[in-house]
Amino acid sequence: MHALHLISLLLQYPSLELQAVAGEIRQRLAGDPAVPQADVAAIEPLLTRLATADIYDCQETYVELFDRGRAHSLHLFEHVHGESRDRGQAMVDLRQRYLDAGLEPEGNELPDYLPLFLDYCSTLPEPLARDTLAEPGVVLIALTARLADKGSDYAPVFALLCDIAGLEMDEAAAKALPPAEDPETLEELDAQWEEEEIRFTSDAAPDPNAACPQVSAILDRMRDPLPETALATTPQRS
């Protein structure tokens, strides 16, 4: 499902290369029958900004939104496991799932980085791609709501992912994740990271899944390997 690869590009750190292809991404999404055209229209402000705004402004907006704190993190397991050892094992399992499907992750990004997960989904046949995308559905729904509340032009991208995955937005699902507040100052950011280092061992902090068992169950499925029958028919994206 190639549309998921195009969406993964929009969620990566802005670059001059992304600016150069933003128009082509718009055209390809608009011409994809698997993509709701109302959603394509909704992401137009983001596409326009990425294509025309100063690249440094785009990068600053991205970092402020996705890299400062956990509330809007693009690392899926961080919303459930935080920095605990459980997240490490979950990422090992997810990476093996990529390898089993013939996808070799490149660069330094962790396996639970959403654009990487979308790239993986894009190699799958459409029905399986939709089902796989729906596995972290609670995270996608919550991020859609949080970004919409913030007035971010990235929110429609997550709404598009929810529509492709067949997820329904509702208040309960949007609030299923443990609450996370972004730090407002560098001092608060430093304090948050220091706190995470202290909480690294499992007995040093409460289980972050305790308040939302449905999140744990959904993300646990992401660690399971695909059936051999699915892998046998999985096309590889060049």
Among 45-59, 74-88, 120-134, which is the least confidently predicted range?
74-88
How confident is the prediction for the chain on average, in pLDDT?
77
Is the whole model's pTM more than 0.85, yes or no? Answer: no
* Mean pLDDT value across residues 114-124: 94
Domain positions in the chain are 2-225
Q: Is the pLDDT of residue 148 over 50?
A: yes
pLDDT of 208 > 60? The answer is no
Cβ density class 210-230: b for 16+ within 10 Å, e for less: eebeebbebbeebbeeeeeeb
* Predicted pLDDT at 175: 67
**pLDDT of 68:** 83
Is the predicted pLDDT of residue 223 greater than 60, yes or no? no
Please tell me whether residue 130 adopts helix, strand or coil conformation: helix
34 touches 124 (CB < 8 A): no
Q: Quick check: 147 pLDDT over 90? A: yes
Could you write out the DSSP letters of every residue in 49-61? HHHHS-HHHHHHH
> Does residue 211 register a pLDDT over 50?
no
pLDDT in tens, 120-139: 999 999 999 999 999 998 89
Could you give the C-alpha distances from 74 to 12, 27, 62, 118, 212, in angstroms and in order? 9, 25, 11, 11, 19
Residues 6 or more apart whose CB falls under 8 angstroms from that of 69 comprise 180, 181, 182, 183, 189, 192
- Segment among 87-96, 153-162, 207-216 with least mean pLDDT: 207-216
Span 13-25, pLDDT tens digits? 999 999 999 999 9
Q: What pLDDT does 169 receive?
A: 79
